[in-house]
Structure 1
Amino acid sequence: MAAAGGKSVLFVCLGNICRSPIAEAVFRKMATENEVVDKWVIDSGATSDWNIGSAPDERSVACLKKHNTDTDHRARQVTKEDFATFEYILCMDESNLRDLNRKANSVKNCKAKIELLGSYDPEKQLVIQDPYYGSEQDFEMVYEQCVRCCRVFLERNS
């Protein structure tokens, strides 16, 4: 699972159609621009099984497109293998964190460091709120927060 440099990150939210695909796309673009994308395995997943196989929410795609960022992700649920293969699992809120820690406890060879993506936010906004029931502005706020967090995460892991 690890890339040539041995680095890997899995971004996680509830359904894998809003926040985590935005974070994945933002991080992939940053890693590409910094010429380190070949050193990373980058993916995203869901704690739930609600949207498996679905494309990201159209508002997520529109927000990313507005910022010249692409995604071809399809929603998937986090697996037990993810805990053994990913170095970092970065999630969006406390509910995701609880679900992931509970699942990790049933994995014998868990190596993943499970954290809130917001723990890397220089503006100290720990939680990345689910924009699903919100407006385009809520998706924009998620995008901006992901940019801040991913920038710091990449700097600390380069």
Structure 2
Amino acid sequence: MAEAVLADMVAKRGLKAKFHIDSAGTARYHVGEQPDGRTVATCGKHGVPINHLGQQLVRRHFAEYDHILCMDRDNLSDCKHVKPKGQCRAKHELFGSYSKAASDLIVTDPYYGGMEDFELMYERIVRCSEGLLKQLLDPKE
């Protein structure tokens, strides 16, 4: 969902050529699978296109991307284990650190919840994405 929301925001601002947005899990659970149907439904409700197959975070991602954004502390810890030793291009951090709402610091996985949990995740991702874009596009503020 975060990939779809952020990519949609970037496209609507006419900045698609300036960003390469992708997502990956830290575990192999859903490699090659379509997004959860509830994620697709939530994105659809908000007019956000989603087209992704699950993949796992690998070492080369740290050289290919500027930012690796983690949803929670477990993901952040897992990233540290995948990150190659030495200098890396990618900065890895909590996605929620870009939201002004303290409650967004951890974007909880709604997998075992209901549709209301997916909606809450969507709202958090929107706030985090807006904060990230603001920081990237106008870092002086």
**TM-score (ref. length: structure 2):** 0.93
Identity across aligned pairs (percent)?
39
Q: Does 1:103 align with 2:82?
A: yes
C-alpha RMSD over aligned residues: 0.9
Gaps of 5+ in 2: none
Match for residue 152 of structure 1 among 127, 131, 134: 131
**Partner in structure 2 of residue 116 of structure 1:** 94
Larger relative contact order (C-alpha < 8 A, sep ≥ 6)?
1
| Shift of residue 109, structure 1, vs aligned partner | 4.3
Give the superposition deviation at 1:49.
0.7
> Match for residue 66 of structure 1?
45
Distance 1:24 1:80 in 2: 19
**Which residues of structure 1 form unaligned runs of 5+?**
1-21
- Give me the whole-angstrom Cα distance separating, in 2, the residues matched to 1:115 and 1:60: 23
Q: Give the one of 48, 70, 75 matched to 2:27.
A: 48
Structure 2 Cα separation of the partners of residues 144 and 67 of structure 1: 10
Measure how far apart 1:107 and its partner are. 3.9
Using the alignment, how far apart are the partners of 1:80 and 1:142 within structure 2? 27
The SS at the match of 2:20 is strand
Which residue of the partner structure matches residue 79 of structure 1? 58
Greater share of strand: 1
Residue 59 of structure 1, CA deviation: 0.3
Q: Deviations over 1:102-127 (max 9, x none)?
A: 211x3444211001000011112210
For residue 99 of structure 1, report the CA deviation from its aligned partner.
Answer: 0.4
